[in-house]
């Protein structure tokens, strides 16, 4: 992938550098704040090779979904071409994806960065290296993949198809954000005697079916193993979603940051756990996020998500 070319096309499609006021990134997305969102050429943006989809972010922003293999290179090039500095994981020294992607165009971009700072060595565990490499290979070799393979990749990254990622809720309709924390992506493999044999894709299907049943016009399912990415997603929900269904997983018992983010956006939220956490280890008896939720559902497996979405709809008067 030519990061410079992709960044140039994205910049042109969003109205040029004069229309960009800030640039942020997460693990898969370029998050832009714009002076005039109406200047974005959505159809042109979605046709750029390497762009998996777009999502509106609040009243003045847009997210360009790129995937973990290309976000670092494209965001760096976008910053250089637009003149707007990037904040977020993609500018961190030697990110895991950067350590794996030895692309010439990324090296050229690095060489053009003014006054490079000394970089610290970051240890990449074998498990994380394997995960990033699998995603990177799938994304880089997309020309050799058929439609079914590409759909599977996008489902794995939970970005959906281009149409689904860029779809807006119907006028007057309500939308729900489903957030899952660390290791939920390992469902079906991780301790099936506790969490069941259904995988993460089955969880997403359950949520989408429940959202349609409840009458929501839009739903987004997001999963991350990183606390900061979850906080970013909660903050971005303000002005975009009407409620949140959340399984913070292990962060349930440790994260004040996620609790504070939920309190900050003040959206109605349901806490969900696949297992009966109240019957498990002592350390799982503490839930920080519960203070920001109007209901907690445990021990119902994936059906707990269905109940949570239906209860959220009732809370919203749907």
CA atoms of 109 and 115, how far apart (whole Å) = 13
The response to whether 260 counts as a known ligand-binding position is yes
221 labelled catalytic:
no
Structural element, H or E, at residue 200: helix 200-214
Q: Is 284 annotated as a binding residue?
A: yes
Task: Tally Cβ neighbours within 10 Å of residue 193.
Answer: 7
Positive or negative: CA dihedral 155, 158, 159, 164: positive
- Tokens 């899952």: give the residue: 180
Pair 93, 125: CB distance under 8 Å: no
Q: Residue 167, SS3?
A: coil
Residue of 3, 132, 195, 251 marked active site: 195
For residue 299, the tally of other CB atoms under 10 A from its CB is: 13
Side-chain half-sphere CA neighbours of 5 within 13 A:
6
Q: Is 195 a catalytic residue?
A: yes
Angle of helix 104-111 relative to helix 71-82, nearest 10 degrees? 40
Evaluate whether 297 touches 274 at the Cβ level (below 8 Å).
no
Task: State the catalytic residue, choosing from 3, 26, 132, 293.
Answer: 26
| Strand ranges of the sheet holding 86-87, from the earlier edge strand across to the other edge | 53-57, 61-65, 29-34, 20-25, 86-87
Which one of the listed residues 269, 273, 293, 305 is annotated catalytic?
273
Annotation: binding site for substrate: 247, 253, 260, 274-275, 284
Q: Which residues are catalytic?
A: 26, 195, 273
Q: Annotated binding site: which residue ranges? A: 247, 253, 260, 274-275, 284
């Amino acid at each position: 992938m030519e990061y410079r070319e992709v960044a140039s096309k994205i910049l042109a499609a969003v109205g040029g550098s004069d229309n960009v006021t800030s640039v942020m990134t997460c693990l898969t997305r370029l998050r832009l704040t714009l002076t005039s969102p109406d200047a974005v050429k959505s159809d042109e943006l979605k046709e750029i090779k390497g762009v998996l989809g777009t999502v509106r972010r609040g009243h003045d922003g847009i997210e360009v979904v790129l995937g973990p293999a290309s976000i670092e290179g494209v965001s760096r090039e976008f910053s250089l071409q637009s003149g707007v500095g990037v904040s977020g994981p993609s500018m961190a020294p030697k990110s895991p994806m950067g350590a794996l992607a030895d692309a010439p165009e990324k090296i050229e971009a690095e060489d053009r960065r003014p006054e490079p700072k000394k970089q610290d060595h970051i240890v990449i565990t074998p498990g994380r290296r394997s995960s990033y490499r699998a995603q990177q290979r799938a994304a880089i070799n997309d020309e050799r993949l058929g439609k079914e393979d590409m759909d599977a990749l996008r489902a794995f990254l939970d970005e959906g198809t281009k149409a689904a990622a860029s779809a807006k809720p119907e006028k007057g309709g309500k939308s729900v954000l489903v957030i899952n924390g660390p290791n939920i992506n390992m469902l079906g493999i991780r301790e099936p005697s506790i969490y069941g044999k259904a995988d993460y894709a089955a969880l997403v299907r359950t949520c989408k079916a429940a959202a349609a049943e409840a009458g929501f016009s839009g739903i987004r399912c997001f999963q991350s193993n990183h606390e900061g990415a979850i906080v970013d997603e909660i903050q971005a929900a303000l002005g975009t979603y009407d409620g949140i269904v959340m399984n913070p997983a292990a962060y349930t018992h440790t994260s004040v940051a996620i609790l504070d983010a939920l309190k900050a956006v003040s959206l109605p939220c349901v806490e969900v756990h696949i297992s009966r956490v109240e019957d498990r280890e002592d350390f799982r008896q503490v839930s920080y996020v519960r203070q920001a939720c109007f209901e907690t559902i445990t021990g119902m497996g994936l059906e707990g998500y269905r109940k949570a979405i239906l209860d959220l709809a009732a809370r919203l008067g749907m």
